[in-house]
Structure 1
Amino acid sequence: MKSLVLFFASCAILSTNLLSLDWPSWRGQDRTGISEEKNLLQKWPEAGPKKLWHTNEAGLGYSGFTISQDKLFTLGAFNKEEMLLAFSVNSGKKLWQLRIGELLTNGWGDGPRMSPTIGENKIYALGGKGNLICVDFGGKLIWQKSLVSDLGGKVPSWGYTESVLLDDGMVICTPGGKNGSLAALDANSGKTLWRTAEFTDGAQYSSPISILHQGKKQYVQLVMKNLVGISPQNGNVLWKSEWPGKVAVIPTPLYADGKVYISSGYGVGCKLVEIGSNQPQDIYENKVMKNHHGGVLKVGNFLYGYSDGVGWACQDFNTGELIWNEKKALGKGAIAYADNRLYCQGEGDGKIVLIEASPKGWNPMGQFVIQPQTQKRNPKGRIWTHPVICNGKLFLRDQEYILCYDIKS
């Protein structure tokens, strides 16, 4: 009997570990960009890690990946329509696709930009024109809402790009506008539960996060002129901190040790805000990290990312001090982390460089170039999809191409 109990306990632990390796949301479970995976290659062979498969069936767009139950979900555009797509993680075979809405076009490459969100065997996906859908894992539509016609939002210049937050049976999204910047929808029905009636800033491009601060949950979102904390119970504003955003505000906020870190490009910079008892105080504000949209990661007490004009940078989280920077080795791009390694992706040439996550400096451990690359990208477009590390695999995208690499040690 004892051995049987141990067997089932082991199975439960194994099941939990396997589930924890999924990538259910933008920047992972906690939206930090940090993968908890271990036993990955610490150094790559000269030609880079082994490519397991690639597909050219993802359509146009910059949408990222979410992964669960051996399925990879993303968005892509075909014939002026945006689609939610499902692929096999193991083979790259397309399993199904479902229309979201009309394609939003712009001068920097058309196609959707958000990542789907997964939870309770459902997928939530937002199109560029504000069409939000909820579907099951087989691709069957459960409900849909328009952030514009149903919720009174206004499409921002480059379209809606946020990856909606799924938390406590609610879908948290940012329609923007006079009815309230943020909205909470019932995850099962799409019914509106609350709006931030006292906070009506327009939507930008960042994605909200859920934090536990002083024992209480709150949602944090960054828009053009404000960083804001919201009550999950009713949408009331708990605190607000001004931000001098310009043109576009994109990177996702980071929370640690009672503080929120934010960054924006277009010459703006970064700042660290201590929330306290919902009475925020700036710890620092500087231009060390001017992150456009490639993301910033916190590993230990240090931040890593690409800063416009500075290059790839390591910044002290607590003081804001620049620890090191590297301009020549790799151009501007996006970043991911797993197993003490940073995966740095150049947006212009598709070069992927593996470096040690260390405040001691840029220490490369291998590199390769994404192949094949698209011929369909708008001349102004770049490789903007963030790398994702899940279940010993590295997933990359250049428009219609999705590529999967084996990075297990």
Structure 2
Amino acid sequence: MFKFQYFLPFFCYTMVVFSADWPKFGGSNGTFFSEEKGLRSFWGNEEPEILWKLDAGFGYSSIIESDGKAFTKGYNEGKINLICVDVSIGKIIWKKAFPCPRGDNYFKGGSRSTPVIDGDNLFVLLHNGDFYCLDSQSGKILWNVNVVEDLGGTRPTWGFAASPMILGKKVILPIGGEKGGIIALDREQGEVLWRAGKYGASYSTPFKSKKEDHIIIFHDSGLSIHDVGDGRELFTYPHKTRYGINASQPLEFGKNIFISSAYGKGSALIDFSGKIPKTIWKTDKISAQMSSSILKEDHIYGIHGQAGGHSKFSTIFCLNANSGRIAWQKKGYGLGSLIMVRETIIFLSESGEIALIRATPDKFEELASFQLLSGKDNWIPPSYANGRLHCRSSDGNWICVKMGTDQ
């Protein structure tokens, strides 16, 4: 039952958040959580209105929305196409094509990382290492580099998949290699500002700490924390999996950080308040392979499981962040991805089904469900902005549906 008196201060603070953009991977704060009001959670026998559809091309890039425009990229006939769309009508404003192989190594291939928009600049990393800064209004290329050929990075097995991170005048990229696992570039010219770390390129996107002037990155060998100013590595915590895959986004929880991986590695909560990182708890009962988990109050919501023959045994879970104890798990949805809008989880299954789930540790409660996409391997996180839900399949079917109430 909704405890109004408990949430009153929080509710009053967020009343003004009627709508919000989704300008980067994971939304405005990179946590896959939105404070936007107006999401319709109960549908009965109805289904959301499809506003428009587009073909985005093969791939796994998520969709971003900012200032009335949406962007994503996908593969088609030897090229990665970057698309800018007018979200009000679903019309392509401009499209930019970049030569790039499909890169279908044990999966469909296509695009990987998600573009980032910051002001009038759009930053795009291709899985072959080509990196571009463009004018978001016109698609004009302002500058570009290849992080392997020009910067000495090392392409990971499944290609560069992490999104760029923008910090003021810096662009942070996890490029891997002996010259520096992570690199900072000047956003205006692309010049190298610093390099740090000796680890492989990350499939997970780096992010800034809420508490300190630090960058947190989950790379092939574990978790590292760097100083924003000069890149100095301040902490490192080993967490190596088979194939060097750490793809799920870490969660910062006070002075602690939650990490999770598949391939038999599991999850852990690490305390970074001292001089040496300390493990608070570990569990092999929760393993998030690709989908990022979400922190709400003192509970973590996510997807346990791994792609392939065992993906049908995946579960949606809720666990206590402090103790690591599982509050509930639910089978039957398969692998997928999720985001959260205030009190509601939006889950997109790998087969294209949307499920709306109440975000509470008390019990699992589905509020609504409907089939939206077709195909399989639909691991791309949906995006929610200004009452619109953007979903795309790995085959490139981009669907925009109305999920918000009229305001």
Fold conserved (TM > 0.5)?
yes
Q: Is the contact made by 1:75 and 1:85 (CA closer than 8 Å) also made in structure 2?
A: yes
Q: How big is each residue's C-alpha offset from its partner over 1:67-90, in whole Å with a ceiling of 9 and x where there is no partner?
A: 111110111112111122111111
Q: Hey, what's the Cα distance between the residues in 2 that align with 1:267 and 1:32? A: 25
Q: Who is 1:407 aligned against?
A: 403
Q: Hey, what's the Cα distance between the residues in 2 that align with 1:314 and 1:148? A: 39
Q: Is the contact made by 1:87 and 1:96 (CA closer than 8 Å) also made in structure 2?
A: yes
Q: Who is 1:259 aligned against?
A: 256
The 5 Å alignment of 1:179-218 reads: 179-196=179-196, 199-213=197-211, 216-218=212-214
Q: Hey, what's the Cα distance between the residues in 2 that align with 1:357 and 1:405? A: 22
The correspondence for 1:366, drawn from 354, 365, 368, is: 368
2:344 pairs with 1:341? yes
Q: Who is 2:127 aligned against?
A: 128
2:322 pairs with 1:324? no
Q: How big is each residue's C-alpha offset from its partner over 1:235-281, in whole Å with a ceiling of 9 and x where there is no partner?
A: 11011111132222101111121111111112211111111145311
Q: How big is each residue's C-alpha offset from its partner over 1:112-170, in whole Å with a ceiling of 9 and x where there is no partner?
A: 11110111211000001011100011100000011101111111111100011001211
Q: Hey, what's the Cα distance between the residues in 1 that align with 2:145 and 2:200? A: 18
1:101, CA displacement in angstroms?
Answer: 3.7
Sort the Cα spacing of 1:173 and 1:339 in 2 relative to 1 into closer, same or farther, 3 A.
same
TM-score (norm 2): 0.90
Q: Who is 2:317 aligned against?
A: 313
1:174, CA displacement in angstroms?
Answer: 0.8
2:277 pairs with 1:280? yes
Q: Hey, what's the Cα distance between the residues in 1 that align with 2:187 and 2:97? A: 20
Q: Who is 2:4 aligned against?
A: none
Q: Who is 2:383 aligned against?
A: 388
The 5 Å alignment of 1:54-203 reads: 54-56=53-55, 58-105=56-103, 106-137=105-136, 138-196=138-196, 199-203=197-201
The correspondence for 2:221, drawn from 219, 222, 225, is: 225
Q: Who is 1:5 aligned against?
A: none
Q: Hey, what's the Cα distance between the residues in 1 that align with 2:187 and 2:44? A: 45
Q: Number of paired residues?
A: 379
The 5 Å alignment of 1:22-37 reads: 22-37=21-36
1:225, CA displacement in angstroms?
Answer: 1.5
Taking only the aligned residue pairs, the percentage that are identical comes to 28
Q: Is the contact made by 2:82 and 2:95 (CA closer than 8 Å) also made in structure 1?
A: yes
Q: Hey, what's the Cα distance between the residues in 1 that align with 2:39 and 2:28? A: 19
Q: How big is each residue's C-alpha offset from its partner over 1:313-347, in whole Å with a ceiling of 9 and x where there is no partner?
A: 1111111111100112x111100110200011110
2:235 pairs with 1:239? yes
> Secondary structure of the equivalent of 1:161?
coil
In structure 2, give the amino acid aligned to 1:355. Answer: I
Q: Who is 1:300 aligned against?
A: 297
TM-score (norm 1): 0.89
Q: Hey, what's the Cα distance between the residues in 1 that align with 2:232 and 2:342? A: 39
Q: Hey, what's the Cα distance between the residues in 2 that align with 1:302 and 1:334? A: 17
- More displaced, 83-92 or 319-328? 83-92
In structure 2, give the amino acid aligned to 1:360. Answer: D
CA RMSD of aligned residues (A): 1.6
Q: Hey, what's the Cα distance between the residues in 2 that align with 1:246 and 1:335? A: 25
Sort the Cα spacing of 1:167 and 1:101 in 2 relative to 1 into closer, same or farther, 3 A.
farther
Q: Is the contact made by 1:104 and 1:128 (CA closer than 8 Å) also made in structure 2?
A: no
Q: Is the contact made by 2:17 and 2:35 (CA closer than 8 Å) also made in structure 1?
A: no
Q: Is the contact made by 1:39 and 1:339 (CA closer than 8 Å) also made in structure 2?
A: no
- Structure 1's unaligned 5+ residue stretches are 1-15, 375-380
Q: Who is 2:41 aligned against?
A: 42
Q: Hey, what's the Cα distance between the residues in 1 that align with 2:61 and 2:44? A: 29
Q: Is the contact made by 1:313 and 1:325 (CA closer than 8 Å) also made in structure 2?
A: yes
Sort the Cα spacing of 1:30 and 1:278 in 2 relative to 1 into closer, same or farther, 3 A.
farther
Q: Hey, what's the Cα distance between the residues in 2 that align with 1:55 and 1:111? A: 16
- Structure 2's unaligned 5+ residue stretches are 1-15, 306-312
In structure 2, give the amino acid aligned to 1:334. Answer: S
Q: Is the contact made by 1:47 and 1:368 (CA closer than 8 Å) also made in structure 2?
A: no
Q: Is the contact made by 1:101 and 1:127 (CA closer than 8 Å) also made in structure 2?
A: no
